[in-house]
Structure 1
Amino acid sequence: MDPGARREDVTATAVRRRLLRAVIDVAPVFGFTVSFAVTHRLAVALALAIAAGAAVCVHRLVRGEPIRRPLAALGLVCVGGVLAARTGQAANFFLPSLVVHCVVSVVTPVLLVLGWPPMGLLVGAVTGERTRWRRCQVRRRAFTKGNLVILAGHLLMLAIQLPLFFSGRTVALGSVDVLGPIALALAALWGWRIYRRAVGTHRCTAHDRPSAEISPCVERAA
């Protein structure tokens, strides 16, 4: 099998695993939303959210899986919990995730214009290719096209969640936030399919020189 195709298959598998893990990662937000909808007690909802976040970390640790993502999610839960507890406004629990969506929505277009699509950086980190994909203009454009889908996912989340946040509709906000990681994982999978379709049968030459900004590429049958 072609090494490039093998790396791409590994990346596709990683995207699908991310989708499955996203279902588990929503446990803290799900617990907070359900408990607050039932009890309307902020302390109970926060306690359940933190407990669920810790349980996800332990589950990943026992299975020998990376826990950086659940730890980051638990950190957001703790920050949101502090904000909600100090202000007495349950909707502030979701403020950190809104800030993340805002930052991604602002930074991503800048990186796309500069020719550094975050999707390419992530794929390079997963496959060990790092930033060598930038030497191929076809792949760089394909990553940009795929990344637009992910950017659209973040913008859609902001368009839905911001009105709910400013109106203080905590349960509705939480219901949307529960679907957020799953929707973004689906967007990543869709973006990956767009990337593969844009690349098509295009393959870079094996003797690309690291010093070249864009190396010559050839096309051959997959």
Structure 2
Amino acid sequence: MRDESLADLLGGRRGAVDATVPPLAFVAGWLATGQSLWGGVVAALVAGAAVAVWRMSRGARPGAAFVGLLAVCVAALIAVRTGRAADFFLLQLVSNAASALVWALSIALRWPLLGVIVGVVLRQRTRWRRDPDLLRAYGRASWIWVLQYAIRLAVFLPLYAADQVAALGVARAALTWPLIAACLAVSWWVIRRSLPPDHPGLRHPVTPAPSDEISEARQNTKI
């Protein structure tokens, strides 16, 4: 199988800067100003704006570049409204919990999100889903992504409950690009192990002939 790896297809590093720089800036500003919430918020917003400008200078679309900045603004607003610095990371906690649930649900519904994402990137629409081997492989590999979000929650929740602001910032950075890189590598390994040796790869879904689809549908109906 000669396909690119998932890291090649999905570009796992693209969101790493957006996800790590503003939280680290928040913690740095919070500490530098004597644990002032506003010191952290201002530092995070400046860092988020700088990252957005940097991404646009590298050819990113304005909408995509400002998504990260919007997330920083929402996180900052939550912290300001509650007056608790640890709440800057509340949006991250909620998004990880929601992501784990959505990915698990997509597997249960036989629409694994990893397949959906790769299918969009490769402009396959839903052809990948008509390949039983690819559908099974994407389903198995998607569980790795569920595990990724679960790991983050297992680390973030105790720190959030203990109001460990600095540790939350460090954990956010440590569990962004390194964890995504590991997730991409392991899920790619799972896909390769799940596909038959003679499968042509992700770019070439093997769809059954119409007669095979009818036979399969009849068998499913009997079952």
Partner of 1:195: 191
TM-score normalised by structure 1 residue count: 0.82
Secondary structure at the aligned position of 1:28 is classed as helix
Q: List runs of 5+ in structure 1 lacking aligned partners.
A: 216-222
* C-alpha contact 2:29 2:42 (8 A) present in aligned 1: no
Q: Does 1:165 align with 2:160?
A: yes
* C-alpha contact 2:23 2:172 (8 A) present in aligned 1: yes
Separation (CA, whole Å) in 1 of partners of 2:214 and 2:65? 37
1:30 to 24, 29, 46: 24
Q: Does 1:122 align with 2:117?
A: yes
Taking structure 1 as reference, are residues 19 and 214 closer, same or farther at Cα in structure 2, changes over 3 Å only? farther
Aligned residues: 208
Partner of 2:41: 46
Structure 1 residue ranges (4+ consecutive) displaced by more than 4 angstroms after TM superposition:
66-70, 204-209, 211-215
* C-alpha contact 2:18 2:48 (8 A) present in aligned 1: no
Taking structure 1 as reference, are residues 197 and 69 closer, same or farther at Cα in structure 2, changes over 3 Å only? farther
Partner of 2:220: none
**Alpha-carbon offset, residue 135 of structure 1:** 0.5
Partner of 1:174: 169
* C-alpha contact 1:31 1:52 (8 A) present in aligned 2: yes
Identity %: 29
Separation (CA, whole Å) in 2 of partners of 1:119 and 1:35? 37
TM-score normalised by structure 2 residue count: 0.82
What are the superposed Cα offsets for residues 26-45 of structure 1, whole Å, 9 maximum, x if unpaired? Answer: 11111112222333111111
* C-alpha contact 1:23 1:181 (8 A) present in aligned 2: no
Separation (CA, whole Å) in 2 of partners of 1:73 and 1:213? 46
Separation (CA, whole Å) in 2 of partners of 1:42 and 1:159? 25
**Alpha-carbon offset, residue 93 of structure 1:** 0.4
| Segment of structure 1 superposing worse, 199-208 or 53-62 | 199-208
Secondary structure at the aligned position of 1:26 is classed as helix
Taking structure 1 as reference, are residues 147 and 66 closer, same or farther at Cα in structure 2, changes over 3 Å only? farther
Secondary structure at the aligned position of 1:9 is classed as coil
* C-alpha contact 2:7 2:184 (8 A) present in aligned 1: no
Separation (CA, whole Å) in 1 of partners of 2:150 and 2:21? 23
| Segment of structure 1 superposing worse, 180-189 or 147-156 | 180-189
Separation (CA, whole Å) in 2 of partners of 1:51 and 1:170? 19
Separation (CA, whole Å) in 2 of partners of 1:119 and 1:214? 28
Q: 2:198 corresponds to which letter in structure 1? A: T
